Structure 1
Amino acid sequence: MGEERATVLQSESLLVREGAGENSSSVTTTLVLSTFVAASISFGVGYIAGYTSPTQSVIMEDLGLSIAEFSLFGSLLNLGSILGALVSGKTVDLLGRKGTMWVLYIFYIVGWLAIAFAKVPWLLDVGRLLLGFSNGIAGYLLPVYLAEITPKNLRGRFTAGVQMMAILGLSTMYIVGPFINWRILALIGIIPSLVQLPLLIYIPESPRWLVNVGREEEFETVLRSLRGKKANVFEEAASIKDYTDSLKRLSGGGMLDLFQPKYYHSLIIGIGLKVLQHSGGSNAYTYYSGVIFTSAGLSKYVGLSTLAVIQMITAIVGASLIDKFGRRALLLVSSAGLCFGSFLTGISFLLQGHHLWSEEARILALISIWVYMGSYQAGMEGIPWVIVAEVNLLHFLTSSPFTCPSYVVPT
């Protein structure tokens, strides 16, 4: 067993390097189209996350919801994400990456339709739960699919682009949300899914999944379409097959093997980062920033619009600096910004509660949310996912041990 595990680890190392053949790969139409489909899912994830922020007051008024009922509606996104994360690994392996995308789009469409036509609170909640379930699966599916279809020399840029689409979806909701009816916003959320459904016919399945299920002839065709007709794919193909064969020789174990002493360090880093990622209140800022602006005596429209711009700028800056300064440095700066932003938010409301410096306190509230959300998008939003992928062992990835903690804490 020890020798077999050593073989798997060597295969993983080979997959990470993936040979010179892959390094010479070019950007193909198939690769761009596949990444675009993944990016559309990412856009939807961000759009869903920002939905409650500009719509809280109007939904509560139209359906007669109390604060507690709307809070339940908001939290069901995280509950659904937990459920989705728990089944994500097995679902993606059983249905395939492409097959899972078909299921996700159906859930997204049904979830948004339930919210758009809700006349009673329970239907609103069902829609939110379905969207959360889809997000939980997407949180695992997207990084796996991108890692399996992109060559090493292009992987960073393509992955960063897909992550930026989630921020774009969130920012889009913040900008247009305050000016559009909440039911229309829900119907708009269906558009990306409707556009992408026909495109799913033309994108390929993951090459690694095809090898895993024994469809090797299709695997070679797909790999060549992703890398280009002139690319040398033989070394990459051999490394993928070698890894898959080594993995199949392992018996039993599974997720329980993670709790061996040699994996403790990776577990602490992976689970710890995912727990801390949302334990500082990022979901509260994301879901309810519109209410925070209003409570501080600020215009919700101005606050959300400027916040959208700040998020986009800081996300771009963070993506450009991560490889230059490293994950740890950027994560430390981001964490410091989160602490400072949260502190300033508390100070601003403390001043207003004592009727001190009312005008200055409102401005401080605006700046504090900029600082918090800007810091979050610059580092804490994406870096934990990158680090988890880098410390996690590929042959345990289907157990999805790192996808749930970040949803559990804020719920």
Structure 2
Amino acid sequence: MSFRDDTDDGRDPRKPFLHTGSWYRMGSGQSGMLGSSQAIRESSISVLGCVLIVALGPLQFGYTSGFSSPTQDAITEDLGLTVSQFSLFGSLSNVGAMVGAIASGQIAEYIGRKGSLVIASIPNIIGWLAIAFAQDTSFLYLGRVLTGFGVGIISFTVPVYVAEIAPQNLRGSLGTVYQLSITIGIMVAYLLGIFVQWRVLAILGVLPCTILIPGLFFIPESPRWLAKMGLTEDFETSLQVLRGFDTDISLEVNEIKRSVASTSRRTMIRFAELKQRRYWFPLMVGIVLLLLQQLCGINGVIFYSTSIFESAGIKSSSVATFGIGAVQVITTVLATWLMDKAGRRLLLIVSSSGVTLCLLIVAVAFFLKDSVSSDSSLYGILGIISVVGVVGMVFTFCLGMGPIPWIIMSEILPINIKGLAGSVATLGNWFFCWIITMTINFLLEWSSGGTFTIYMVFSAFTVAFVTLLVPETKGRTLEEIQFSFR
């Protein structure tokens, strides 16, 4: 019986929103005619090219996250906002992201990973233009919600697409490109925020998605999604271009066929089926990891780092904020190199332990600052210690807690519940991100030391959770990972 017969459920297979294209179809049959395009046909280069194109999505994600920090004073002054109004503005991207997260899984399942990214790009572009030309809070808030909606879809779709196209020996390293792009986006927003006016900064925000849309026409759709939809010819063609036309893909094709044939093409499963370990365990790990990623307070630090440094007594807070962005990029590059060497689980334990220690240092420094005179030399030293602690927190977070939860979520969720379960996990992540960014300004006014103590407790819980329950996925195919939960 053919693969199409094995997976057919009586419906016509869905067609991808963006076809996989013809530029590589010609090459599969006439490779001699494409000698000048040999670089494109190399396995690692073709996969890397696809990853670099979709990385424009998380670049937009990072730019959105970093926008509020360097612009807080200027927007507040120009539009006459209160602290609570700007806090609402900063957090509304998370509200939009929650809506996008709810829709992301079903959109990605119904029209494909590439089509999902097109859907995400359009509200992002409109949202940035609304912010750039806002004269009052209505357009400002609307623009922030729209950019958040697009980011919510991106945050689910890009990790899943990368995991589904990457060979197993490169999946960890390529997966960290998602987090690397986010950190680059944050750093760019911080850097440009020092030199350009906030409206210009908003206009520049349209560039990543404006470039992403045409770029998607030049890369193949996820072969695993095509296989799930019963599009056998497109599935094998897509996988061939990703692995190179000179590569024998028969073994990987058969693995994917067996995996898809053993699952239903239904996007919904019965609730009773979630009691099976193959479903509840990966779903629990994916959701909890993404929640704990936010509960250490990282997005509060990223969104309002300028205010945090000012409260620590640092005069050049904008420059220090840019330094935070640079540390993120450097550390994520290091994580990219370590991911497929040290493994996901070990890096998560090291990262969460480091975040816990740094948060403890920051909390103690702020508590001591409240008890000494602002004119004393100790006050200045404690300010420096708190900044070092924040930088250390960002460094250790980016080493593992930043990229790895998204990678693990995209690796361990079974393909027949990936859309629904991924949406739930992404929604939870953005909901807690909204809570953190909405409350951090008020918590810092209450007690800076108390705020970082709360985050430290959640970070310590992360260490225990990873140590006891998170599985290692390094060096295993997605099919092998899923079979291990049966």
Same fold (TM over 0.5): yes
Question: How far does the alpha carbon of each residue in 1:325-367 deviate from its partner, in whole angstroms, 9 at most, with x for none?
Answer: 4333322332232223223333333333334422112212211
Q: Distance in 2 between matches of 1:375 and 1:142?
A: 23
Q: Distance in 2 between matches of 1:391 and 1:137?
A: 19
Which of 388, 403, 406 lines up with 2:426 in the alignment? 403
- Aligned residues between the structures: 388
Is 1:381 the counterpart of 2:402? The answer is yes
Q: Distance in 2 between matches of 1:263 and 1:105?
A: 31
Corresponding residue for residue 89 of structure 2 = 73
Is 1:348 the counterpart of 2:365? The answer is yes
Q: Distance in 1 between matches of 2:330 and 2:242?
A: 31
Question: How far does the alpha carbon of each residue in 1:67-124 deviate from its partner, in whole angstroms, 9 at most, with x for none?
Answer: 1111111111221221111111110111211111211111211111111111111211
Which of 61, 83, 87 lines up with 2:103 in the alignment? 87
Cα 1:85/1:325, change in 2 over 3 Å: same
Corresponding residue for residue 317 of structure 2 = 300
1:28–1:225: 8 Å Cα contact kept in structure 2? no
Cα 1:396/1:372, change in 2 over 3 Å: same
Question: How far does the alpha carbon of each residue in 1:107-155 deviate from its partner, in whole angstroms, 9 at most, with x for none?
Answer: 2111111111111112111111111111111111112211222222333
Which of 226, 240, 244 lines up with 2:242 in the alignment? 226
Corresponding residue for residue 311 of structure 1 = 328
1:255–1:396: 8 Å Cα contact kept in structure 2? no
Secondary structure in 2 aligned to 1:247?
A: coil
Percentage identity across aligned positions? 37
Corresponding residue for residue 190 of structure 1 = 206
Q: Distance in 2 between matches of 1:249 and 1:103?
A: 23
Corresponding residue for residue 54 of structure 2 = 38
2:172–2:340: 8 Å Cα contact kept in structure 1? no
2:172–2:407: 8 Å Cα contact kept in structure 1? no
Q: CA deviation at 1:216?
A: 2.9
Cα 1:326/1:148, change in 2 over 3 Å: closer
Which TM-score applies when normalising by structure 2? Answer: 0.74
Secondary structure in 1 aligned to 2:170?
A: helix
Structural mapping, 1:4-403, within 5 Å: 26-27=42-43, 30-248=46-264, 253-254=269-270, 257-260=273-276, 263-298=279-314, 299-356=316-373, 357-399=378-420, 400=422, 401-403=424-426
Corresponding residue for residue 471 of structure 2 = none
1:49–1:286: 8 Å Cα contact kept in structure 2? yes
1:76–1:128: 8 Å Cα contact kept in structure 2? yes
Q: Distance in 1 between matches of 2:338 and 2:47?
A: 25
Secondary structure in 1 aligned to 2:217?
A: coil
Q: Distance in 2 between matches of 1:331 and 1:285?
A: 20
Q: Distance in 1 between matches of 2:295 and 2:269?
A: 31
Q: Distance in 1 between matches of 2:167 and 2:148?
A: 30
Q: Distance in 1 between matches of 2:352 and 2:69?
A: 23
Q: CA deviation at 1:249?
A: 6.8
Q: CA deviation at 1:62?
A: 0.8
Of 244-253 and 110-119, more deviation after overlay is shown by: 244-253
Cα 1:134/1:374, change in 2 over 3 Å: same
In structure 2, stretches of 5+ residues that fail to align are 1-6, 8-40, 436-486
Q: CA deviation at 1:236?
A: 2.6
Secondary structure in 2 aligned to 1:394?
A: coil
Equivalent residue letter for 1:358:
Y
Please give the root-mean-square deviation of Cα atoms over the aligned residues, in Å. Answer: 2.4
1:254–1:396: 8 Å Cα contact kept in structure 2? no
Q: Distance in 2 between matches of 1:240 and 1:326?
A: 24
Q: Distance in 1 between matches of 2:372 and 2:428?
A: 39
Q: Distance in 2 between matches of 1:387 and 1:237?
A: 23
Question: How far does the alpha carbon of each residue in 1:243-289 deviate from its partner, in whole angstroms, 9 at most, with x for none?
Answer: 33332377962565324456544344322222211112111101000
Equivalent residue letter for 1:138:
I
Which TM-score applies when normalising by structure 1? Answer: 0.86
Of 253-262 and 31-40, more deviation after overlay is shown by: 253-262
Cα 1:116/1:343, change in 2 over 3 Å: same
2:124–2:149: 8 Å Cα contact kept in structure 1? no
Equivalent residue letter for 1:408:
F
Question: How far does the alpha carbon of each residue in 1:181-202 deviate from its partner, in whole angstroms, 9 at most, with x for none?
Answer: 1111111111122223222222
Of 248-257 and 349-358, more deviation after overlay is shown by: 248-257
In structure 1, stretches of 5+ residues that fail to align are 1-6, 8-24
Corresponding residue for residue 16 of structure 1 = none
2:331–2:398: 8 Å Cα contact kept in structure 1? yes
Of 346-355 and 362-371, more deviation after overlay is shown by: 346-355
